[in-house]
Amino acid sequence: MQASRPASKLKFKNDLPKSTVFGDSAILIYDGIFDRQVLTKKWIQTFERKYSVRSGEKLKNIDTFPKHIKSILKLAQGLPTQEITLVVLGGGSVGDFAGFVASILKRGVRLVQIPSTWLAAVDSAHGGKTGLNVSKIKNQIGTFYPADEIYLIKSILKTQPEARVVEAFGEIIKISLLEGQGLWREGQKLKSISSDYYWKLLPQMIEAKYRIVQRDPQERLGIRHLLNLGHTVGHVWESQLKIPHGLAVLLGVAFAVEWSFARGLMNSKIYYEIRLSGMGSYLPDRFELKKLLRKIKQPQKFLLQDKKISTNRKIRYVFVKSPGRPVIESVSVQELIAEMARQAQ
């Protein structure tokens, strides 16, 4: 199996392709909100086999998975295994869930992702990570199963409500800080977070993610771990405050920038350049971080359960020296908790 896909598998289109392009054995798995949208309602009806889901973390819950897989298996009945194509329309939760389904259904079937949120278009649809949550802890089980094709559809992405646009910004600033160079420089020009801006930079942002993934497709060398920038503390907020993933990551990136500066890894010139830059000015400030850190209860309990924490209670935390120069350092859970307490003061 190919572990990461070259850019040629990406298809940038204005509108959804006809369902017939996916063959006679296509099964559509989609976010049920699209049954209510004019743009997608008729398109969905053109699929003979389809399965509607409710997006969100509950969809990724292992407890309800058997019910879903039994229904999807029924849809697949009688189809030649080699010809089955799962077509997935939805945001990151639907993509993580359906990607996992594709990887285990009949031991693996063709997968086409049509990410419908900016977060999924920029990040989660690429790189092949699928995931389910166990006992409310995110992505405890999953597979590496890159999509065979990924469609980026302008009409779907550009009609998203403002909330979705803002939610994606966490992953966007994350990848821009990791990449540095042109992507970060483009970010200096950011005047307001908008769909137009995302669409324009989408190819560059996706390429930046692939550049990291291709060096370490299955996260064995520690390089791919860089993509966890902002996620360690982000996941604590996501789980405890029940805020969307992208917003939690945005907070997590701001926390990482603050810690990188306090630890002396980032100098004050770079720190203020980031904070005052077009993109960086959208990072939550110290006051906001303080307020939200005070809402976190028993971080130790959560951090020790999180999959990124090894048994010796050390975490590989992603710091930033400057845009384009991330660095991973091993820190103890106690150090992280002390830093959370420091920033909460």
Ligand X SMILES: NC(=O)c1ccc[n+]([C@@H]2O[C@H](COP(=O)([O-])OP(=O)(O)OC[C@H]3O[C@@H](n4cnc5c(N)ncnc54)[C@H](O)[C@@H]3O)[C@@H](O)[C@H]2O)c1
Residue with smaller CB distance to ligand X, 195 or 332: 195
Residue with smaller CB distance to ligand X, 284 or 343: 284
Residue with smaller CB distance to ligand X, 246 or 326: 246
**Minimum separation from the CB atom of position 153 to ligand X (A):** 9
Is residue 122 within 8 Å of residue 79, measured between CB atoms? no
**Minimum separation from the CB atom of position 22 to ligand X (A):** 19
**What phi and psi, each to the nearest 5 degrees, are found at residue 114?**
-125, 85
190 belongs to the binding site for ligand X (CB under 6 A): no
86-122 in b/e form (b: 16+ CB < 10 A) is: bbbbbbbbbbbbbbbbbbebeeebbbbbbbbbbbbbb
239 belongs to the binding site for ligand X (CB under 6 A): no
232 belongs to the binding site for ligand X (CB under 6 A): no
**Minimum separation from the CB atom of position 269 to ligand X (A):** 31
288-301 in b/e form (b: 16+ CB < 10 A) is: ebeebbeebeebee
55 belongs to the binding site for ligand X (CB under 6 A): yes
Cα 218 to Cα 290: distance, rounded to the nearest angstrom: 35
245 belongs to the binding site for ligand X (CB under 6 A): yes
Is residue 272 within 8 Å of residue 258, measured between CB atoms? no
**Minimum separation from the CB atom of position 192 to ligand X (A):** 19
4 belongs to the binding site for ligand X (CB under 6 A): no
| Stretch 107-136 residues interacting with ligand X (CB under 6 A) | 116-117, 119-120, 123-124, 127, 129, 131
**Minimum separation from the CB atom of position 339 to ligand X (A):** 24
Q: Which residue from 26, 65, 90, 205 is in contact with ligand X, where contact means CB under 6 A?
A: 90
Q: Which residue from 4, 93, 176, 232 is in contact with ligand X, where contact means CB under 6 A?
A: 93
Q: In the chain, which ranges are continuous DSSP H helix?
A: 38-45, 65-76, 92-104, 118-119, 154-158, 162-179, 181-188, 195-215, 231-241, 245-262, 268-276, 286-293, 299-305, 333-343
| Stretch 13-32 residues interacting with ligand X (CB under 6 A) | 31
242 belongs to the binding site for ligand X (CB under 6 A): no
| Per-position x/- string for 156-175, each x denoting binding to ligand X as judged by CB under 6 A, each - no binding | x---xx--x--x--------
Max Cα distance, the chain (Å):
64
Residue with smaller CB distance to ligand X, 235 or 271: 235
| Burial class for 32, CB neighbours closer than 10 Å (0-12, 13-18, 19+) | middle
Residue with smaller CB distance to ligand X, 25 or 93: 93
343 belongs to the binding site for ligand X (CB under 6 A): no
Cα 103 to Cα 207: distance, rounded to the nearest angstrom: 24
Residue with smaller CB distance to ligand X, 80 or 161: 161
306 belongs to the binding site for ligand X (CB under 6 A): no
Secondary structure (3-state) at 31: strand
Is residue 75 within 8 Å of residue 49, measured between CB atoms? yes
Cα 99 to Cα 86: distance, rounded to the nearest angstrom: 9
The label of the residue with tokens 């809402």 reads 295
Q: Which residue from 56, 108, 278, 299 is in contact with ligand X, where contact means CB under 6 A?
A: 56
Closest CA to 110 of 9, 217, 40, 8: 9
Q: Which residue is nearest to ligand X (CB)?
A: 92
**Minimum separation from the CB atom of position 330 to ligand X (A):** 23
Site for ligand X, rule CB under 6 A: 31, 33, 55-57, 60, 90-94, 96, 116-117, 119-120, 123-124, 127, 129, 131, 138, 156, 160-161, 164, 167, 244-246
